[in-house]
Amino acid sequence: MRHRAVIFDDDPLIRFTLWDLFDGRGYEVFTFPEPGLCPLHVVLKCPCPSDTSCADLILSDVNMHGSNGIDFIQQLIQKGCRQRHFALMSGNFSEDDVARGSVLGCELFTKPLDMHQVVEWIDKVERSIPSERVLYDWVTGGLSSGMSETDNNT
């Protein structure tokens, strides 16, 4: 079973570093410099069938050019997203960011990233994923067992 990660950060070096980490673990990885470029941003309702999600985890920067990762995750949840594993990263979490991220159930990572902490979170997420899980392929609109060989490093 191949895992899938979706990453949002306006810093290309951070996007590449995280893409490299996940790719090295065998993940299908989609990276975006801001949520507005992701197909999940434009849908009005989560397109995933009730027993699926689009990714195994979503990791987002909080402060991106013209976008806020907390707002994006909150919007996904309001659209009915069934994703269980969200994480936020920031070099400057405000008290409000921490409170909102906690309410949304997000893991919080301070920049510069402590990659050991990120890997511990990934390990925890992987242990919680049922082996029979099926992912929704929001690119083609079908279901995927996670065995796709295509990565997108935007």
- Residue 80 is part of a domain; what is its CATH number? 3.40.50.2300
| Sheet (strand 86-90) strand order | 107-110, 86-90, 57-61, 4-8, 28-32, 152-153
Dist CA 125 CA 70 (whole Å): 20
Region 104-117: mean pLDDT is 98
Region 126-136: mean pLDDT is 90
Average pLDDT, the chain: 88
Pick the residue with more confidence: 142 or 113?
113
Asked if the model's pLDDT at residue 56 lies above 50, the reply is: yes
Region 18-41: mean pLDDT is 90
Q: Tell me which DSSP letter residue 53 carries.
A: B
Asked if the model's pLDDT at residue 142 lies above 70, the reply is: no
Region 24-52: mean pLDDT is 83
Backbone angles phi, psi at 99, to 5 degrees: -65, -50
Asked if the model's pLDDT at residue 143 lies above 60, the reply is: yes
The separation between the first and the last C-alpha atoms of the chain, rounded to the nearest angstrom, is: 24
Residue 119, domain extent: 4-153
Closest C-alpha among 13, 21, 117, 111 to residue 69: 111
On the CB side of 48, CA atoms within 13 Å amount to 23
Answer for the pair 76, 48: CB distance below 8 angstroms, yes or no: no
pTM (2 d.p.): 0.86
Contacts of 115 (CB under 8 A, 6+ apart): 21
- Provide the pLDDT for residue 150: 42
Portion of the chain with pLDDT greater than 70, in percent = 89
Give me the number of domains the chain comprises: 1
Region 87-99: mean pLDDT is 97
Answer for the pair 62, 10: CB distance below 8 angstroms, yes or no: no
- Provide the pLDDT for residue 5: 96
- Provide the pLDDT for residue 149: 39
